[in-house]
Structure 1
Amino acid sequence: MRVLILGGTWFLGRRIAERLAERGDQVLIAHRGSARSDPGVPGLHLRTDRHDLARHAGQIKDFAPQAVVDTFALTGADVDAVLPVLPHVPSVVLSSQDVYEAYTGLQTGQCLSPVPITEESPLRRERYPYRGKGYPGVPDDYEKLDVEARWLDRGAVVLRLPFVYGPHDYQRREEPILRRVRAGRDRVPVGAANLLWTRGHVDDMATGVLAALDIRSADGLAVNLGESTTVPIGVWFEQILRAAGSRTRLERVPDDRLPPDLALAGAPAQHLLVSSARAERLLGWAPGDPETRVAESVRWHLAHPPEGGWTDADAAADDAALAGP
């Protein structure tokens, strides 16, 4: 199969390209060649901003894609820029479980939605959740609901992704714990740490994309992906510590004393626990064992530490949280 990937040189997109190449598919990756891009990702590389894709319509036509995977549409305009250039072929677009009203609840400290969340659960009523907040790399008009509407009209499979972690994760999801392990800290301050937020290993997410391309039973539908069982975030922290071979322990402190990078270790009003039953039923998809996946991810991140490290300010914040009243 000839597959055109929009994006595809970062985290999940990179793994999708690798998996397609491993099984013998031909891959054309259209990407900007940003600092995070890895030129070693297998496939043909077309360096372009997606908003300039029309300039390369001839190359797209010559490649004659039999499927499209859009890994990095953040706004409605991102989709509008590419649809006129793309053939009407089976397509998969990566979305986010931030489309649900439960996400608003998690962000605002309100319980707005029952769990587990299914594809029929309430969607966010307020649009453009990052407008005016100045998050690096996130446009003001970021809105996966706009992305989904355009691609669903095209008959694509929309995969709503969870909290994704694993090798090459540029967000370094495990880093709040691993940075303390590297620094030799013997205690980590946590609050109730009972948040249930569905996670997903990058390789399992890639498997879901390939299933959606191959099986085609979810065309025109939104589908949740995520681990089969979810433990509270405090237990996930403990899994990370075990995988790292660390004796560092979690110590309960009041939520209002938590350091900023451990804010998720409090007591939330809203959980983001998501059901993947539709993916299992329609795509025959099943993720790996969560604790095994955590161990795989931790091994990679320990072997590939980020730049920068533990600072005196970090230590002071933890010490203050752990010092008691």
Structure 2
Amino acid sequence: MRILLIGGTWFLGKAIARTALSAGHHVTTFNRGRSAPDLAGVTAVHGDRTDIDDLNRLALHGPWDMAIDTSASEMAPRQVLSGARALEPVTDRYVYVSTVNAYRGWPNEPLTEASPVYDAPPDADRDYGADEGGPAHYGKQKAGCEGAASAEFGERLTILRPGVILGPGEYVGRLPWWLNRCARGGSILAPGAPDKLIQPIDVRDVAAFALAAPAGAFNLAGPRGRDRMVDFLTACLSATGSSGRLVFASDAALVAHRVKQWTELPLWRTNPGTWAVDTAKAQASGLTCRPLADTVADTWTWMQSDDAPVKHPRWEEHGIDPAREGQILAGL
């Protein structure tokens, strides 16, 4: 199969490229060639996806059986629309990687693929939804991007809506922070109830599904009811060989201390829909999820390798200051 991968050098894109190459597919990557090198074995085309001339030049390298778009997280809907329009004549199927943020109800409500997404025109610019700010702005942008891809590919479109993706190559810094914190040992501030259910998904499992998924929209997350916060943190201790001790603080205590949810203690959020994402449709279509402990262990192994993470501003957003952590622990 001939695959076009828009992106291909970071985290998910790199995992898809590696999975596709190992399966014997011919992979063309399209990116600016600035952030990280392309994998050996791909046909690399360098250009800017916001430049119509570069998009038209890319189209000359087709045709492709499938295009997978992993690099649109900062793109406005109208930019996704122009890219899809340029590629539609030379691409049989289009896979757009969106996010659960496109749903109006995330993170406050349980989600299925039937849950309503934000309204946004497919030709919206970056300012659309900015008056609402924060999650609503981002959610409207992603929903608009979905609409842009749909406008060009219709029934030949696959939309993937992952929640939290972890694993080797992560540039956001959630799991790496927890691994580094556990490796330091001592008393470790652990968030919420130990048996709180969570649903992170391994990047390699998302990659495998992206290559095999049929048309339609799919939520991607870990199996509901399988993994608990204590299991995740215990796996971090085990992977790092740490003798650290987990000290769980209740949601109420952390809120009282004004701990920033989602960042100071990564993966901790009190919103009831955060980890209530139904993935039955994806599982019925072939999604399989490896054990979370394997994701944790493999990420620690990667962190000790020469394959250093891509520098990204989000890495610095995550983690609580040690002095602040100590103060909270002292009051428990």
Does TM, normalized by the shorter one, top 0.5? yes
Q: 2:286 aligns with which of 284, 291, 314?
A: 284
What is the aligned partner in structure 1 of residue 299 from structure 2?
Answer: 297
Q: Post-superposition shift, 1:244?
A: 1.9
What is the aligned partner in structure 2 of residue 110 from structure 1?
Answer: none
Change in CA separation of 1:53 and 1:3 when aligned onto 2, cut-off 3 Å:
farther
What is the aligned partner in structure 2 of residue 215 from structure 1?
Answer: none
Change in CA separation of 1:140 and 1:276 when aligned onto 2, cut-off 3 Å:
closer
Calculate the TM-score normalised by the size of structure 1: 0.80
The one-character-per-residue Cα deviations of 1:234-258 (angstroms, maximum 9, x if unpaired) are 4322222222221212213321336
Q: Residue 227 in 1 paired to residue 222 in 2?
A: yes
Change in CA separation of 1:130 and 1:17 when aligned onto 2, cut-off 3 Å:
farther
Could you say what secondary structure the match of 2:265 adopts?
Answer: helix
| Paired AA for residue 298 in structure 1 | W
| Paired AA for residue 179 in structure 1 | N
Contact 1:193 1:267 in 2 (8 A): no
Q: Residue 120 in 1 paired to residue 119 in 2?
A: no
Alpha-carbon distance in structure 1 between the residues aligned to 2:305 and 2:18: 21
Alpha-carbon distance in structure 2 between the residues aligned to 1:189 and 1:228: 22
| Paired AA for residue 118 in structure 1 | T
Q: Post-superposition shift, 1:58?
A: 4.1
What is the aligned partner in structure 2 of residue 5 from structure 1?
Answer: 5
| Paired AA for residue 26 in structure 1 | H
Contact 1:28 1:45 in 2 (8 A): yes
Name whichever of 123-132 and 48-57 sits farther off. 123-132
Q: Residue 100 in 1 paired to residue 103 in 2?
A: yes
| Paired AA for residue 257 in structure 1 | H
What is the aligned partner in structure 1 of residue 64 from structure 2?
Answer: 65
Alpha-carbon distance in structure 2 between the residues aligned to 1:130 and 1:193: 38
Alpha-carbon distance in structure 1 between the residues aligned to 2:162 and 2:169: 17
What is the aligned partner in structure 2 of residue 82 from structure 1?
Answer: 83
What is the aligned partner in structure 1 of residue 144 from structure 2?
Answer: 146
Task: Map 1:244-255; keep pairs closer than 5 Å.
Answer: 244-253=240-249, 254-255=253-254
Name whichever of 160-169 and 289-298 sits farther off. 289-298
Could you say what secondary structure the match of 1:103 adopts?
Answer: coil
Alpha-carbon distance in structure 2 between the residues aligned to 1:210 and 1:92: 9
Structure 1 spans left out of the alignment, 5+ residues: 106-112, 213-217
Q: Post-superposition shift, 1:197?
A: 4.0
Alpha-carbon distance in structure 1 between the residues aligned to 2:130 and 2:202: 25
Alpha-carbon distance in structure 1 between the residues aligned to 2:259 and 2:186: 14
Q: Post-superposition shift, 1:38?
A: 2.5
Change in CA separation of 1:82 and 1:196 when aligned onto 2, cut-off 3 Å:
same
Task: Map 1:159-174; keep pairs closer than 5 Å.
Answer: 159-174=160-175
Alpha-carbon distance in structure 2 between the residues aligned to 1:299 and 1:130: 43
The one-character-per-residue Cα deviations of 1:32-51 (angstroms, maximum 9, x if unpaired) are 2233x223354111111101
Calculate the TM-score normalised by the size of structure 2: 0.79
The one-character-per-residue Cα deviations of 1:160-182 (angstroms, maximum 9, x if unpaired) are 11200111100122133223234
Alpha-carbon distance in structure 1 between the residues aligned to 2:173 and 2:65: 34
Change in CA separation of 1:101 and 1:242 when aligned onto 2, cut-off 3 Å:
farther
Alpha-carbon distance in structure 2 between the residues aligned to 1:265 and 1:141: 20
Structure 2 spans left out of the alignment, 5+ residues: 121-127
Name whichever of 157-166 and 285-294 sits farther off. 285-294
Q: 2:236 aligns with which of 216, 234, 240?
A: 240
Contact 1:177 1:241 in 2 (8 A): no
The one-character-per-residue Cα deviations of 1:9-42 (angstroms, maximum 9, x if unpaired) are 111001111111122211111102233x223354
Count residues in correspondence: 301
The one-character-per-residue Cα deviations of 1:74-131 (angstroms, maximum 9, x if unpaired) are 33022122122102411111111112234253xxxxxxx2x3x211123357984897
Change in CA separation of 1:289 and 1:187 when aligned onto 2, cut-off 3 Å:
closer
> Share of identical aligned residues, percent?
26
What is the aligned partner in structure 1 of residue 181 from structure 2?
Answer: 180
Name whichever of 202-211 and 222-231 sits farther off. 222-231
Contact 2:96 2:149 in 1 (8 A): yes
Contact 2:21 2:41 in 1 (8 A): yes
What is the aligned partner in structure 2 of residue 20 from structure 1?
Answer: 20
